[in-house]
Protein backbone atom coordinates (compact mmCIF):
# COMPACT_ATOMS: atom_id res chain seq x y z
CA UNK A 1 0.00 0.00 0.00
CA UNK A 2 1.27 3.43 -0.93
CA UNK A 3 1.03 5.93 1.93
CA UNK A 4 -1.27 8.87 1.25
CA UNK A 5 1.22 11.13 3.07
CA UNK A 6 -1.64 13.08 4.58
CA UNK A 7 -0.97 14.41 8.06
CA UNK A 8 -2.91 16.58 10.40
CA UNK A 9 -4.00 17.41 13.89
CA UNK A 10 -7.07 18.32 15.85
CA UNK A 11 -7.69 21.98 16.64
CA UNK A 12 -10.42 23.70 18.63
CA UNK A 13 -13.70 22.31 17.25
CA UNK A 14 -11.98 21.35 14.02
CA UNK A 15 -9.29 19.59 12.04
CA UNK A 16 -6.13 20.65 10.23
CA UNK A 17 -5.07 18.43 7.33
CA UNK A 18 -1.78 18.82 5.45
CA UNK A 19 -0.58 17.27 2.20
CA UNK A 20 2.79 18.32 0.79
CA UNK A 21 2.94 22.12 1.19
CA UNK A 22 -0.82 22.68 1.31
CA UNK A 23 -2.82 22.63 4.49
CA UNK A 24 -6.44 23.30 5.31
CA UNK A 25 -8.21 24.04 8.58
CA UNK A 26 -11.88 23.14 8.88
CA UNK A 27 -13.69 24.52 11.94
CA UNK A 28 -17.31 24.17 13.00
CA UNK A 29 -18.35 27.60 14.24
CA UNK A 30 -20.70 28.08 17.22
CA UNK A 31 -23.62 28.55 14.79
CA UNK A 32 -22.93 25.14 13.21
CA UNK A 33 -21.39 26.39 9.96
CA UNK A 34 -18.18 24.71 8.78
CA UNK A 35 -15.49 27.16 7.69
CA UNK A 36 -12.54 25.87 5.63
CA UNK A 37 -9.35 27.85 5.10
CA UNK A 38 -6.68 26.53 2.72
CA UNK A 39 -3.15 27.91 2.60
CA UNK A 40 0.40 27.00 1.61
CA UNK A 41 2.86 26.45 4.44
CA UNK A 42 6.37 27.87 4.19
CA UNK A 43 8.91 25.98 6.28
CA UNK A 44 10.75 27.91 8.96
CA UNK A 45 14.05 26.86 7.33
CA UNK A 46 13.25 29.09 4.35
CA UNK A 47 15.73 28.63 1.49
CA UNK A 48 17.18 25.59 3.25
CA UNK A 49 13.98 23.60 2.69
CA UNK A 50 16.01 20.69 1.29
CA UNK A 51 16.92 19.93 4.90
CA UNK A 52 13.33 18.73 5.41
CA UNK A 53 13.96 16.01 2.81
CA UNK A 54 17.30 14.61 4.03
CA UNK A 55 16.84 11.25 5.82
CA UNK A 56 17.67 11.29 9.56
CA UNK A 57 18.04 15.08 9.39
CA UNK A 58 14.53 15.97 8.27
CA UNK A 59 12.95 14.59 11.44
CA UNK A 60 13.88 17.47 13.72
CA UNK A 61 12.99 20.12 11.10
CA UNK A 62 9.66 18.50 10.30
CA UNK A 63 8.92 18.25 14.01
CA UNK A 64 9.52 21.98 14.52
CA UNK A 65 7.48 22.76 11.40
CA UNK A 66 4.66 20.66 12.84
CA UNK A 67 4.79 22.60 16.11
CA UNK A 68 4.76 25.97 14.35
CA UNK A 69 1.89 24.98 12.06
CA UNK A 70 0.04 23.37 14.95
CA UNK A 71 0.14 26.48 17.10
CA UNK A 72 -0.77 28.67 14.12
CA UNK A 73 -3.84 26.61 13.19
CA UNK A 74 -4.87 26.20 16.82
CA UNK A 75 -4.79 29.98 17.24
CA UNK A 76 -6.85 30.37 14.06
CA UNK A 77 -9.51 27.92 15.25
CA UNK A 78 -9.70 29.60 18.66
CA UNK A 79 -10.44 32.95 16.99
CA UNK A 80 -13.97 31.73 16.18
CA UNK A 81 -14.75 31.34 19.86
CA UNK A 82 -13.33 34.58 21.23
CA UNK A 83 -15.82 37.21 22.32
CA UNK A 84 -14.18 40.30 20.93
CA UNK A 85 -15.47 43.41 19.25
CA UNK A 86 -14.92 43.58 15.51
CA UNK A 87 -12.42 46.37 14.91
CA UNK A 88 -11.66 47.76 11.48
CA UNK A 89 -7.88 47.81 10.91
CA UNK A 90 -5.72 49.42 8.28
CA UNK A 91 -3.25 47.38 6.21
CA UNK A 92 -0.43 48.70 8.39
CA UNK A 93 -2.25 47.73 11.59
CA UNK A 94 -2.93 44.25 10.21
CA UNK A 95 0.75 43.86 9.35
CA UNK A 96 1.77 44.88 12.87
CA UNK A 97 -0.77 42.48 14.36
CA UNK A 98 0.53 39.63 12.21
CA UNK A 99 4.11 40.47 13.23
CA UNK A 100 3.14 40.36 16.93
CA UNK A 101 1.37 37.04 16.43
CA UNK A 102 4.40 35.57 14.66
CA UNK A 103 6.64 36.75 17.49
CA UNK A 104 4.32 35.23 20.09
CA UNK A 105 4.20 32.01 18.10
CA UNK A 106 8.00 31.85 18.04
CA UNK A 107 8.18 32.46 21.79
CA UNK A 108 5.52 29.79 22.39
CA UNK A 109 7.36 27.20 20.29
CA UNK A 110 10.68 27.99 22.02
CA UNK A 111 9.09 27.77 25.47
CA UNK A 112 7.33 24.51 24.57
CA UNK A 113 10.59 22.92 23.42
CA UNK A 114 12.48 24.04 26.54
CA UNK A 115 9.66 22.86 28.84
CA UNK A 116 9.44 19.50 27.07
CA UNK A 117 13.21 18.95 27.35
CA UNK A 118 13.15 19.88 31.03
CA UNK A 119 10.17 17.68 31.91
CA UNK A 120 10.74 14.65 29.72
CA UNK A 121 14.54 14.51 29.45
CA UNK A 122 16.23 16.30 32.37
CA UNK A 123 13.72 15.63 35.17
CA UNK A 124 13.69 11.82 34.70
CA UNK A 125 17.50 11.81 34.82
CA UNK A 126 17.57 13.61 38.16
CA UNK A 127 14.81 11.40 39.57
CA UNK A 128 16.67 8.23 38.56
CA UNK A 129 19.90 9.68 40.02
CA UNK A 130 18.26 9.67 43.44
CA UNK A 131 18.28 5.87 43.24
CA UNK A 132 22.08 5.68 42.98
CA UNK A 133 22.55 4.48 46.59
CA UNK A 134 20.08 1.65 45.91
CA UNK A 135 20.82 0.91 42.23
CA UNK A 136 24.58 0.96 41.59
CA UNK A 137 24.35 -0.10 37.93
CA UNK A 138 24.33 2.90 35.55
CA UNK A 139 22.64 0.79 32.85
CA UNK A 140 19.82 -0.17 35.20
CA UNK A 141 19.35 3.45 36.28
CA UNK A 142 19.21 4.47 32.61
CA UNK A 143 16.46 1.92 31.98
CA UNK A 144 14.58 3.15 35.07
CA UNK A 145 15.04 6.72 33.80
CA UNK A 146 13.44 5.70 30.50
CA UNK A 147 10.52 4.03 32.25
CA UNK A 148 10.02 7.15 34.38
CA UNK A 149 10.14 9.29 31.23
CA UNK A 150 7.42 7.22 29.54
CA UNK A 151 5.43 7.16 32.79
CA UNK A 152 5.47 10.97 33.01
CA UNK A 153 4.27 11.17 29.41
CA UNK A 154 1.37 8.76 30.00
CA UNK A 155 0.45 10.51 33.27
CA UNK A 156 0.43 13.87 31.47
CA UNK A 157 -1.91 12.51 28.78
CA UNK A 158 -4.20 10.98 31.40
CA UNK A 159 -4.39 14.26 33.33
CA UNK A 160 -5.23 16.49 30.36
CA UNK A 161 -7.71 13.93 28.99
CA UNK A 162 -9.97 14.70 31.96
CA UNK A 163 -10.55 18.25 30.68
CA UNK A 164 -13.79 18.68 28.74
CA UNK A 165 -12.26 20.72 25.89
CA UNK A 166 -9.42 18.23 25.53
CA UNK A 167 -11.89 15.35 25.38
CA UNK A 168 -13.57 16.98 22.38
CA UNK A 169 -10.17 17.66 20.83
CA UNK A 170 -9.31 13.98 21.22
CA UNK A 171 -12.59 13.15 19.45
CA UNK A 172 -11.55 15.34 16.53
CA UNK A 173 -8.15 13.63 16.66
CA UNK A 174 -10.00 10.34 16.24
CA UNK A 175 -11.90 11.77 13.26
CA UNK A 176 -8.61 12.79 11.64
CA UNK A 177 -7.19 9.26 11.94
CA UNK A 178 -10.42 7.65 10.77
CA UNK A 179 -10.46 9.74 7.59
CA UNK A 180 -6.86 8.83 6.73
CA UNK A 181 -7.46 5.14 7.47
CA UNK A 182 -10.62 5.20 5.37
CA UNK A 183 -8.71 6.55 2.37
CA UNK A 184 -5.69 4.29 2.83
CA UNK A 185 -7.94 1.22 2.92
CA UNK A 186 -9.60 2.08 -0.37
CA UNK A 187 -13.01 3.15 0.92
CA UNK A 188 -14.90 6.16 -0.44
CA UNK A 189 -14.59 9.10 1.96
CA UNK A 190 -18.11 9.16 3.38
CA UNK A 191 -19.35 9.62 6.93
CA UNK A 192 -20.47 5.98 7.03
CA UNK A 193 -17.10 4.61 5.89
CA UNK A 194 -15.10 6.93 8.14
CA UNK A 195 -17.22 5.90 11.12
CA UNK A 196 -16.24 2.21 10.76
CA UNK A 197 -12.53 2.96 10.19
CA UNK A 198 -9.90 2.66 12.92
CA UNK A 199 -9.03 5.68 15.04
CA UNK A 200 -5.44 4.48 15.39
CA UNK A 201 -2.74 5.20 12.80
CA UNK A 202 0.95 4.29 12.74
CA UNK A 203 2.04 7.75 11.53
CA UNK A 204 0.44 9.59 14.46
CA UNK A 205 2.36 12.26 16.40
CA UNK A 206 1.55 10.36 19.60
CA UNK A 207 3.51 7.38 18.25
CA UNK A 208 6.35 9.73 17.28
CA UNK A 209 6.60 11.08 20.83
CA UNK A 210 6.57 7.56 22.28
CA UNK A 211 9.34 6.53 19.87
CA UNK A 212 11.44 9.52 20.96
CA UNK A 213 11.10 8.42 24.58
CA UNK A 214 11.78 4.75 23.84
CA UNK A 215 14.73 5.26 21.47
CA UNK A 216 16.35 7.60 23.97
CA UNK A 217 16.71 4.62 26.34
CA UNK A 218 18.70 2.65 23.74
CA UNK A 219 21.00 5.51 22.74
CA UNK A 220 21.70 6.53 26.33
CA UNK A 221 22.67 2.96 27.13
CA UNK A 222 25.20 3.06 24.29
CA UNK A 223 26.66 6.51 25.03
CA UNK A 224 28.18 6.85 28.49
CA UNK A 225 29.87 9.78 30.18
CA UNK A 226 30.99 10.06 33.79
CA UNK A 227 30.25 13.70 34.62
CA UNK A 228 26.65 14.36 35.81
CA UNK A 229 26.70 17.68 33.96
CA UNK A 230 27.83 16.02 30.72
CA UNK A 231 25.10 13.42 31.12
CA UNK A 232 22.54 16.22 31.03
CA UNK A 233 24.30 17.80 28.05
CA UNK A 234 24.33 14.46 26.19
CA UNK A 235 20.59 13.98 26.79
CA UNK A 236 19.86 17.36 25.24
CA UNK A 237 22.40 17.04 22.41
CA UNK A 238 21.04 13.65 21.37
CA UNK A 239 17.49 14.94 20.87
CA UNK A 240 17.94 15.81 17.16
CA UNK A 241 19.43 12.34 16.56
CA UNK A 242 16.60 10.65 18.46
CA UNK A 243 13.99 12.71 16.60
CA UNK A 244 15.61 11.84 13.27
CA UNK A 245 15.57 8.09 13.96
CA UNK A 246 11.99 8.23 15.28
CA UNK A 247 10.79 10.14 12.22
CA UNK A 248 12.35 7.63 9.80
CA UNK A 249 10.75 4.71 11.62
CA UNK A 250 7.38 6.46 11.53
CA UNK A 251 7.74 7.05 7.77
CA UNK A 252 8.64 3.38 7.28
CA UNK A 253 5.74 2.21 9.45
CA UNK A 254 3.30 4.29 7.42
CA UNK A 255 4.05 2.37 4.23
CA UNK A 256 4.88 -1.09 5.60
CA UNK A 257 2.81 -3.95 6.96
CA UNK A 258 5.82 -6.09 7.86
CA UNK A 259 5.11 -8.13 11.05
CA UNK A 260 8.18 -6.71 12.83
CA UNK A 261 7.20 -3.12 12.00
CA UNK A 262 3.65 -3.78 13.14
CA UNK A 263 4.94 -5.27 16.40
CA UNK A 264 7.19 -2.29 17.11
CA UNK A 265 4.29 0.06 16.32
CA UNK A 266 1.95 -1.51 18.89
CA UNK A 267 3.06 0.50 21.97
CA UNK A 268 2.47 3.79 20.15
CA UNK A 269 -0.89 2.58 18.86
CA UNK A 270 -1.85 1.54 22.40
CA UNK A 271 -1.11 5.05 23.75
CA UNK A 272 -3.25 6.47 20.93
CA UNK A 273 -6.23 4.92 22.68
CA UNK A 274 -5.72 7.68 25.25
CA UNK A 275 -5.21 10.54 22.76
CA UNK A 276 -8.05 9.63 20.38
CA UNK A 277 -11.74 9.16 21.12
CA UNK A 278 -14.65 8.08 18.94
CA UNK A 279 -15.98 11.17 17.12
CA UNK A 280 -19.61 11.92 16.32
CA UNK A 281 -20.83 12.35 12.76
CA UNK A 282 -20.64 16.14 12.91
CA UNK A 283 -16.91 15.92 13.68
CA UNK A 284 -16.39 13.44 10.84
CA UNK A 285 -18.05 15.91 8.45
CA UNK A 286 -15.52 18.57 9.48
CA UNK A 287 -12.61 16.17 8.99
CA UNK A 288 -13.82 15.15 5.52
CA UNK A 289 -13.99 18.78 4.39
CA UNK A 290 -10.43 19.37 5.66
CA UNK A 291 -9.16 16.34 3.70
CA UNK A 292 -10.96 17.23 0.48
CA UNK A 293 -9.53 20.76 0.55
CA UNK A 294 -5.94 19.48 0.18
CA UNK A 295 -6.08 15.92 -1.18
CA UNK A 296 -7.67 14.20 -4.18
CA UNK A 297 -8.59 10.96 -2.47
CA UNK A 298 -10.51 9.70 -5.52
CA UNK A 299 -7.38 9.84 -7.69
CA UNK A 300 -5.33 8.20 -4.91
CA UNK A 301 -7.78 5.31 -4.57
CA UNK A 302 -8.10 4.91 -8.34
CA UNK A 303 -4.30 4.57 -8.56
CA UNK A 304 -3.79 2.28 -5.58
CA UNK A 305 -7.01 0.29 -5.37
CA UNK A 306 -8.15 0.44 -9.02
CA UNK A 307 -11.45 2.00 -8.05
CA UNK A 308 -13.41 4.36 -10.26
CA UNK A 309 -11.95 7.86 -10.13
CA UNK A 310 -15.44 9.37 -10.21
CA UNK A 311 -16.62 7.76 -6.96
Percent with pLDDT over 70 in the chain? 95
Query: Is the pLDDT score of 269 beyond 60?
Result: yes
Query: Is the pLDDT score of 308 beyond 80?
Result: no
Q: What is the pLDDT of residue 309?
A: 53
Query: Is the pLDDT score of 208 beyond 90?
Result: yes
| H-assigned helices in the chain | 58-78, 91-117, 123-129, 138-160, 164-184, 191-195, 205-222, 228-237, 239-255, 259-275, 281-294, 297-305
Q: What is the pLDDT of residue 85?
A: 45
Q: What is the pLDDT of residue 47?
A: 74
Q: What is the pLDDT of residue 248?
A: 95
pLDDT tens digits, residue range 88-111?
Answer: 567 777 677 777 877 887 788 788
Query: Is the pLDDT score of 144 beyond 80?
Result: yes
CB 41 within 8 A of CB 65: yes
pLDDT tens digits, residue range 154-168?
Answer: 999 999 998 988 999
Q: What is the pLDDT of residue 86?
A: 47
Q: What is the pLDDT of residue 110?
A: 86
CB 17 within 8 A of CB 24: yes
Q: Cβ contacts of residue 232 below 8 Å, gap of 6+?
A: 122, 125
Is residue 209 packed enough to be buried (19+ CB in 10 Å), middle (13-18) or exposed (0-12)? buried
* Nearest CA among 123, 124, 111, 18 for reference residue 62: 18
Average pLDDT, integer, range 252-271: 94
Query: Is the pLDDT score of 311 beyond 60?
Result: no
Average pLDDT, integer, range 236-258: 93
* Nearest CA among 218, 202, 196, 198 for reference residue 258: 202
Q: What is the pLDDT of residue 260?
A: 95
Average pLDDT, integer, range 110-126: 91
Query: Is the pLDDT score of 20 beyond 80?
Result: yes
CB 204 within 8 A of CB 268: yes
Q: CA 188 to CA 200: how far, in whole Å? A: 19
Amino acid sequence: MKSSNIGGQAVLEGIMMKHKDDYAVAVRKPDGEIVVQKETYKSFVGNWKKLTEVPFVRGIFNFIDSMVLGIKTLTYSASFFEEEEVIEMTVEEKAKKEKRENLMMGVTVAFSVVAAVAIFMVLPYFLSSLLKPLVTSYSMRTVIEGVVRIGIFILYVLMISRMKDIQRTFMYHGAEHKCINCIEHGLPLTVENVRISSRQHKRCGTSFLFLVLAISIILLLLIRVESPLMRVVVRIALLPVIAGISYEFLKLAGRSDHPVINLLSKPGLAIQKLTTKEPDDSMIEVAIQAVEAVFDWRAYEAENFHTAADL
